[in-house]
Structure 1
């Protein structure tokens, strides 16, 4: 598929990697419907090739309405990229001293699973339904996992969600192949985005020291992976790792 001619939905579009993806697609010549719950961030993104649609990816009705609006605006949608996600780190059980322990609250677990896993499922389901119904071929559904899908201390909820994203994507690829629709995942490592500014500098430096490339990745490098997944018609059912060699 030629990225310069594609019509795409991008979730989690108001900031970070989602925003960079929208701008990259538009610069390449694509038309994009940017979806996020952050209205202010969306408004600052709107442009000639970027149209905005406010929606919470965990709310079924809002996602269905947003996808309907995207198909109506663009005429067809042949690409979906799911960047919407959050993290709420915490240990499963933590010793706080003097014989007292705390554990991860169920609400903290559910918040991440709802946004990162269910918030991937709903846009994929709604977009796939309309692609199959309308006979969109070729089509590609791109999900975003993480290097943390292999398990990471303090990220049990996030790791579970991001591992689930890859398994879900594999299933979607197998199911939709007869319809000419591909599905693929991208797993970023540590990327230089504003979200890292909240991280303790010493901890971040220690993490960078563990990356074989010895640096953070850039949003442009993640977009390069998105572009590859769109353009390579033989890439489906797989997870593309863009992490400087951190995974093994």
Structure 2
């Protein structure tokens, strides 16, 4: 896909990875539909996209709300006249052990803690993927859908909910690639390792050092390195239904 004038929607676009992806794609000529629940964050990303020389529009949306997602993608189609890509980037973490037994007391991960992550990471990805594909087909546009998975999809201690969700979105990308190819829609997933973000910036230096020692390349990944992977998938027309791992070699 030629990114020049392509219309690409990004969820979780208000900050972090989503914002970095938006800026890199804008620098390559794409027009960006920014989706997030936080209006102030969206305004910041919009300013950065415009500073990169492209067009951006903001859409406040709770991606777990089916009606809201349907309305958002309908509006994107009307505002831009087409849709050529979606990056399902929005996601949350609520880590915890499945259960803990200590001093005769047993605590368990609550259903609410588990389900809240599944709702955003899995249901939100499903709804946005479905509506993006529907918009592309309705507009007669070829396109690309990318789901952001994680190295944790292989199973990570303390992340029953998150690991399950990230395995699911990777699997959905593979499934969609097989189903949607007849419409000219390619799909993919990216599984990042530990990326330098606002969250990692709040960690103690010794904790960062321990993580870096576990990563073969010896450092955290950068948001722009994940954005570069996104750019690769969009531009390589022979890539579909596969998971691209960008993790510094940390996954066994």
Q: TM-score, normalised by structure 1?
A: 0.96
Deviation (angstroms), 1:5: 2.9
Query: Partner of 2:4: helix, strand, or coil?
Result: helix
> Do the aligned partners of 1:15 and 1:41 also contact (CA within 8 Å) in 2?
yes
Q: TM-score, normalised by structure 2?
A: 0.94
Matched, 1:101 2:106: yes
Matched, 1:111 2:116: yes
Matched, 1:126 2:131: yes
> Do the aligned partners of 1:22 and 1:50 also contact (CA within 8 Å) in 2?
no
**Which residue is equivalent to 1:13?**
13
What are the within-5 Å matches in structure 2 for residues 56-75 of structure 1?
Answer: 56-75=62-81
Matched, 1:90 2:96: yes
Q: CA-to-partner distance for each residue in 1:30-79, whole Å, 9 max, x for gaps? A: 10010000111112222441211100111111111111111111111101
Q: CA-to-partner distance for each residue in 1:177-217, whole Å, 9 max, x for gaps? A: 11111010001111111021344543332222111010011
> Do the aligned partners of 1:58 and 1:118 also contact (CA within 8 Å) in 2?
yes
Deviation (angstroms), 1:176: 0.5
Aligned equivalents of 1:135, 1:216: Cα separation in 2: 40
Moved more, 17-26 or 222-231: 17-26
Aligned equivalents of 1:165, 1:52: Cα separation in 2: 24
Q: Which of 168, 175, 179 does residue 164 from structure 1 map onto?
A: 168
**Which residue is equivalent to 1:194?**
198
Residues 194 and 4 (structure 1), Cα distance of their counterparts in 2 relative to 1, 3 Å cut: same
**Which residue is equivalent to 1:22?**
22
Structure 1: 5+ residue runs without aligned partners? none
Query: Partner of 1:24: helix, strand, or coil?
Result: helix
Aligned equivalents of 1:201, 1:246: Cα separation in 2: 19
Aligned equivalents of 2:5, 2:217: Cα separation in 1: 33
**Which residue is equivalent to 1:78?**
84
> Do the aligned partners of 1:86 and 1:116 also contact (CA within 8 Å) in 2?
yes
Query: Partner of 2:199: helix, strand, or coil?
Result: helix
> Do the aligned partners of 1:3 and 1:30 also contact (CA within 8 Å) in 2?
yes
Matched, 1:180 2:188: no
Count, aligned residues: 246
Aligned residues: CA RMSD: 1.2
Deviation (angstroms), 1:244: 0.5
